[in-house]
Amino acid sequence: MRTETMDTRTIDDLAICGGAPAFAEPLHVGRPNVGDRARLLERVNDILDRRWLTNGGPYVQEFERRIAELAGVEHCIAMCNATVALEIAVRALGMKGEVIVPSFTFIATAHALQWQEITPVFCDVDPETHTLDPGKVERMITPRTTGIVGVHLWGQTCDVDALSDIASRRGLKLLFDSAHAFGCSYRGRMVGGFGDAEVFSFHATKFINSLEGGAVVTNDAELARKTRLMKNFGFTQYDRVDYIGTNGKMNEMSAATGLTNMESMGEFIAVNRRNYEQYRRGLEGLAGVRLITYDEREKCNYQYVVLEVDEEAAGLGRDELQQVLWAEKVLARRYFYPGCHRVEPYRSYFPHAGLLLPETERLSSRVLALPTGTAVGPEEVEKICRIVARAVSHGAQVRERLRERASVSESPDKVSALASPAT
């Protein structure tokens, strides 16, 4: 219950202050979900018996059908991973010159453009949804702009209507990076059929994984045709190549894993939501800590539990709270630190980009993702909430201990200090 979770009596039991870590084994953000193992092994044995391991086998075809059905789209092209899917979708759409994209996203979103010598123009995000701010998108358009890549973040969708309106009026292509939004909806419609195309990720860290994998989904038949050609070297027949392409194919083992996990999708979402609700109750009313919430009117995968830490109100910063959690073996992640515009090659190309990205800069210093998924249960969530509450409620003391620890680690006695329980 909340009264137990919010126990803030002392910080002496925190591992950062010399106590034993709360967990014997590390708790990761995005530890892979595993569905029905017996069913998966049945499929694996079937694949081995068929000796059809790749090149559009029956499991890839079935996975594509299931994704298209769930997303409510006509076409799904499964890929080896979502980064290649983004690259191919961008190329198939004919994007070039400049493309507007958030900086507050995983680096692959920007790299998929730059890799093809397309300039990613970083745009700021809405402070509440953490997705592209349409008003600011409009102001970033130049004569060289050919497209917009919106990113649905944490399972929260972009303002699809506003971005679609801008793209339509300005003659721009509109692609959505939907890596976080599989199984989510926008105004009652499932994510997948918006813009010219959308890209899903089925990486191992996603709540539905295919080991590695991704997919392009669209209602545009010609775009789907070009995408299929491009992901298979441009082959139109057995020994005929009519288009430029690469090897973006998904293999049968990945598709079998994806299908098996989709069969447990309801269970995975239920666990995610249970964890999210427990985090929300456990952290409610804690000064300086805001849990990102979801629109209850929409379908959501509840895949991410994300905090914003206000250093002034909490008494310690996001990075300090992360240090506290890591000492407890809770490997909370600083998504998406430090922002694409602050890593290479973009920080060299656009050294002053941050001046136009105040919300991105703010979020990059405040956001922290906590462990969830089927590897985390009620007991783990309760412990994590207690650690966060104790650290924040004694922010000044924790900050002083962290400074002392940093000072000791830099001293000549560093080796002996690192052997202490506090580390």
**Domain CATH for 389:** 3.90.1150.10
416 pLDDT tier (thresholds 50, 70, 90): very low
pLDDT confidence band for 411 (50 / 70 / 90)? low
End residue of a domain, out of 262, 280, 295: 262
Other CB atoms within 10 Å distance of the CB of residue 348: 8
218 and 84 within one domain? yes
Q: Do the beta carbons of residue 200 and residue 68 sit within 8 Å?
A: no
Question: Could you tell me which of 250, 270, 249 has the C-alpha nearest to residue 183?
Answer: 270
Is the pLDDT confidence value at 420 over 90? no
Q: Is 350 within a domain?
A: no
Contact, 294 vs 273, CB < 8 A?
no
Please state, in angstroms and rounded to a whole number, the distance separating the CA atoms of residues 127 and 364: 11
CATH for 227: 3.40.640.10
Place of tokens 């890596």: 179
User: What does the mean pLDDT of the chain come to?
Assistant: 94
Residue 357 lies in a domain: no
How many CB atoms sit inside 10 A of residue 413's CB?
A: 9
Q: What confidence tier does 405 reach under pLDDT thresholds 50, 70, 90?
A: confident
Residues 254 and 299 in one domain: no
Q: Would you say residue 126 has pLDDT above 60? A: yes
Q: Are residues 11 and 130 in the same domain?
A: no
**Averaged over 360-377, what is the pLDDT?**
97
Residues 249 and 397 in one domain: no
3-state secondary structure of 122: strand
Per-residue pLDDT band for 406 (boundaries 50, 70, 90) equals confident
Name residues whose C-beta falls within 8 Å of residue 286's C-beta, 6 or more positions apart in sequence. Answer: 6, 314, 388, 389, 392, 393
Cβ proximity of 368 and 330 under 8 Å: no
**300 and 245 within one domain:** no
Residues 234 and 300 in one domain: no
Residues 146 and 293 in one domain: no
Sort strands 119-123 and 145-151 into parallel, antiparallel or unpaired.
unpaired
Chain segment 148-204, per-residue pLDDT in tens: 999 999 999 999 999 999 999 999 999 999 999 999 999 999 999 999 999 999 999
pLDDT in tens, 313-323: 999 999 999 99
> What does the pLDDT read at residue 414?
45
Kindly write down the DSSP assignment for every residue of 312-323, as one continuous string: HHHSS-HHHHHH
Domain count, the chain: 2
Residues 148 and 274 grouped into a single domain: no
Q: Do residues 181 and 237 share a domain?
A: yes
Q: What is the predicted pLDDT for the residue at 410?
A: 62
Confidence of residue 9 (pLDDT cuts 50, 70, 90): low
Whether 394 and 11 have beta carbons less than 8 Å apart is answered as yes
pLDDT of residue 5: 47
Q: For residues 287 and 155, state if they share a domain.
A: no
Q: How confident is the model at residue 4 (pLDDT cuts 50, 70, 90)?
A: very low
Domain end, chosen from 262, 280, 308, is at 262
The answer to whether position 349 is within a domain reads no
Is a pLDDT exceeding 60 seen at residue 421?
Answer: no
Domain assignment present for 158: yes
- Cβ contact 92:223 at 8 Å: yes
Residues 389 and 407 in one domain: yes
CB 292 within 8 A of CB 318: no
Q: Which residues pair with 158 in a beta bridge?
A: none
Q: Which residues contact 383 (CB under 8 A, 6 or more apart)?
A: 22, 23, 328
Residue at 360 is within a domain: no
> Is the pLDDT assigned to residue 6 strictly greater than 70?
no
Q: Which of 244, 262, 280 is the last residue of a domain?
A: 262
Which amino acid would we find at residue 49? Answer: D
**Residue 396: what pLDDT?**
92
Asked whether residue 283 is assigned to any structural domain, the reply reads yes
What range does the domain containing 186 cover? 37-262
